[in-house]
Chain A
Amino acid sequence: MRSAATLVMVAAAVLAQATIVNRLPFAWGPGPDLVVAAVVAVALTTSPAAAAACGFGAGLAMDLLPPAEHAVGRYALVLCLAAYLVALLRRNTGAPGAVGSRTSGWAAVGATAATALGVGAGYAAVGLLMGDQHMTPAAVGTGVGVGAALTVLVAPLVTLPVLWVRETLADSEFATVQGPMAPGGW
């Protein structure tokens, strides 16, 4: 149930990003990244491995969907690592092993902001490594900064609902379970 809902939500985020956000004519270049926002919400509530898989899947989907202006795997690599790191940090610095401890909205938005910046920087870094001619310092600066700011703006509309759905479903699933329980799982 939880994983199915997650799958639907992430797929919806990917499709919305590819078909709606990418369609909007932003004069300044980058738009909000719904995929990052959704993946952060998933990563905050799951194990690092699952988060990595989720980020990989979502990133690969974005790589494969038109426009094919970058190499396949670039976004998958960055999102995979980012989701893994978010999940790992959440697991190790948040309430470790605390089942049902809900993530506060502010923390989720903060995590989204940090991840958006990191994903933007990582994407640019992969581009630099691969010799992408678009990666001039000015373009990277505005791309990362503006993109992250817009992603933070849409975070309350994407990250928080996904987070809420996942935590609500987890609550109902684990409500009757007694005793310590390994956190995470799909």
Chain B
Amino acid sequence: MLRDSPRSRLVLALLVAAAVVLLVLDARPGADPVTSVARAGGELVFAPAAAGVGWAAAPAVTLYDGLREGPRAAARVAELEEANAALEAELQAARIDRNRSDQLDDLLHLSGLGAYEVVPAQAVTRSTARGYAHTVTIDTGTESGVRPDMTVVNGSGLVGRVVEAGPRTATVMLATDVKSAVGARLESTRKIGVVNGGSVPGGPEADLTLELFDMEAPVEAGDRIVTLGSHEGAPFVPGVPIGTVDEVQVAPGALSRIARLTPAVDFASLDVVGVVVAGPDDDPRDSVLPPKPKKPEKSEKPEGEQ
């Protein structure tokens, strides 16, 4: 049935014989020169072809892997995203905590210097119904001993005073409110005046304005202001830094000298504050003020001597 020409069979026989010879040669232990050379030739062809295919197929391989790993990868992505969000929140919380801790440190420092007894609190809102009044709500109240007309400070200086105290919250009128007036005196010269929130009539545009009663009092930019202290420490305890004189206005015929102040406290970023529930026994004078910024000509003076 299977007819074939002798020549054809001869060809087949030769080819089979060649294949068997190659098999035997290559299957013997040790490297055979014939098959080694032939394999080297095969590699010569294969290497560039494989490299080319690898280069051309890289996107397809990526796609294939992506498809193969798809469902698992989606789950993994979701898992990682969740972990990432958690870590981010943690990090942010840590940053806020560190920030708060720094502010509390400052507050503790200030209250230690002035011998104030403070109740720490956090400024919850700057809620004002219409945005006219400069008030904040803090998260301590009468349960913590906070009463109206108590001084509120933070690590940098005077924040304001308590005007309303609930069981757990209290409202603080900031020093920058136009209704706020704080008895003040100049550092070192002890001249007294009033720090008003906002501008006074005839004065410059400012957050805080100092009115000095003594027309002859020497006052210049850079002078620092602390609270004078009220009777029995209410509403203001003495010695709390209020601000720095920014610009003195010389108004001919005025009854008082008016100066614009730069507040010691950054009212835009109020966070941790302290309510002074008990003032110091003695006026701390200027001890609460931070060390004076170094003057350029005294720059070689060591830090410790200040």
Residues of A within 8 A of B (CB): 15, 18-20, 23-24, 47-49, 52-53, 56, 59-61, 63-66, 68, 71-74, 76-77, 80-81, 84, 88-89, 91-93, 126, 130
CB neighbours of B4 from chain A (8 A) = 48, 88, 91
Of all chain A residues, the one with the shortest Cβ separation from B50 is: A19
CB neighbours of A68 from chain B (8 A) = 39
Instruction: Report the interface size class on chain B.
Output: 35 or more
Q: Is the interface of B mostly helix, strand, loop or mixed?
A: helix
User: A76–B19 contact, CB under 8 A?
Assistant: yes
Give which listed residue, B35, B45, B57, contacts A65 with CB less than 8 A: B45
User: B15–A18 contact, CB under 8 A?
Assistant: no
CB neighbours of A48 from chain B (8 A) = 4, 8, 12
Alpha-carbon distance A64/B20, docked complex (angstroms): 15
Q: Given A64-B39, A66-B42, A52 and B23 touching (CB < 8 A)?
A: no
User: A73–B57 contact, CB under 8 A?
Assistant: no
Q: Determine whether B63 belongs to the interface, using a CB cutoff of 8 Å to chain A.
A: no
User: A73–B15 contact, CB under 8 A?
Assistant: no
User: B11–A53 contact, CB under 8 A?
Assistant: yes
Minimum C-beta distance from A166 to chain B (A): 19
Q: Determine whether B267 belongs to the interface, using a CB cutoff of 8 Å to chain A.
A: no
Interface centre among B7, B8, B19, B52 (most CB of A within 10 A): B19
Alpha-carbon distance A63/B57, docked complex (angstroms): 24
Give which listed residue, B7, B15, B53, contacts A23 with CB less than 8 A: B53
* Nearest 5 Cβ contacts at the A-B interface: A73-B22, A64-B42, A77-B19, A49-B11, A73-B23
Residues of B within 8 A of A (CB): 1-5, 7-8, 11-12, 15-16, 18-23, 25-27, 35, 38-39, 41-43, 45-46, 49-50, 52-54, 57, 64
CB neighbours of A73 from chain B (8 A) = 18-23, 25-26
CB neighbours of A81 from chain B (8 A) = 12, 16
Alpha-carbon distance A62/B1, docked complex (angstroms): 32
Alpha-carbon distance A112/B135, docked complex (angstroms): 89
CB neighbours of B54 from chain A (8 A) = 23
User: A19–B53 contact, CB under 8 A?
Assistant: yes
Alpha-carbon distance A20/B55, docked complex (angstroms): 11
Alpha-carbon distance A145/B176, docked complex (angstroms): 88
User: B11–A52 contact, CB under 8 A?
Assistant: yes
Give which listed residue, A61, A77, A93, A126, contacts B42 with CB less than 8 A: A61
Of all chain B residues, the one with the shortest Cβ separation from A85 is: B2
User: A20–B8 contact, CB under 8 A?
Assistant: no
A-B contacts, 13 listed (Cβ < 8 Å): A15-B45, A15-B49, A20-B57, A23-B53, A60-B22, A63-B22, A65-B43, A66-B50, A71-B35, A74-B19, A77-B20, A81-B12, A130-B27
